[in-house]
Amino acid sequence: MGSFANLGALTGAAEGLVKGSEKAAAAKQHKLDQMREERLKALEYQRTMERDQAGYSQESKILGAEQKFETGERQGEQKFETGEREASERFEATQAELDRASDLDVEREKQSADKSKSRKWQYKTTEDKTIQNIDGSTSVEKGVTKVTNPYDHKTYEQRGDIFVPVGTDAEPEYPKNKAGAEKHLLKNPSPTYMSIFMRKYKYLPAEALAASERYLENQD
């Protein structure tokens, strides 16, 4: 009986050891699982922080680029506005100078001129010329329209839609604000002002001559 009792006690002890070992193994595995899960969470947190940091850095770069572009755009607008204002001021000063000169010349013209035909623009168109070419063929050189200013008695010849001084190869010196200057001329188309415009810019718009003719008709 004693042997069987001892055997039972040993068997129970062995089973207790096995159960205790399994429990310890399970606890160890649980701890390992927890540690692995914590490492995974820490790694994921680190990656999230890196992504956020990279995104913030990229966003900062984009924001900086946008601010730089906006600053450059504002500076460009300011420079353009300043340039436009300065150009406008120069144009107005030039036109004021022309107006003053015109007023003086008009006054002198009124003192010495009469209402005769000599105050009208004098037109003359040369005849077409037949030219013999080197190869034996012929070509026609169209006649040129010439006009004489009744104020300074200088003659200009037509070249397309403008008139230039006769006998000169000089190119017109167009004003920077060409449209504005020509518009101002059309509003003040006296022969005197036309002469001043020609001296300054070396050309006259063809349409200004018609405007000057109407101006002279209204003076009669």
Provide the residue ranges of all domains of the chain, joining segments of one domain with +: 1-112, 115-219
Q: What is the pLDDT of residue 138?
A: 81
Q: What is the pLDDT of residue 62?
A: 61
Q: Tokens for 61?
A: 């770069």
Distance CA 113, CA 18 (A): 138
Q: What is the pLDDT of residue 130?
A: 77
Distance CA 181, CA 22 (A): 105
pLDDT (tens, 9 = 90+) of the chain, 220 residues, equals: 555 455 455 555 556 555 666 777 777 787 777 777 777 777 777 777 777 666 656 666 666 655 765 676 567 666 656 766 776 677 777 767 766 666 666 555 554 444 444 578 998 988 877 777 888 788 877 778 999 998 889 999 998 899 999 987 778 999 999 999 999 999 999 888 988 999 999 999 999 998 998 888 887 6
Q: Tokens for 91?
A: 């144009």
Distance CA 22, CA 24 (A): 5
How do beta strands 145-148 and 155-159 pair?
antiparallel
Q: What is the pLDDT of residue 115?
A: 46
Residue whose tokens read 């007023």: 103
Q: What is the pLDDT of residue 163?
A: 94
Contact 162, 185 (CB under 8 A): no
Distance CA 182, CA 200 (A): 12
Q: What is the pLDDT of residue 108?
A: 57
The reported pTM is: 0.46
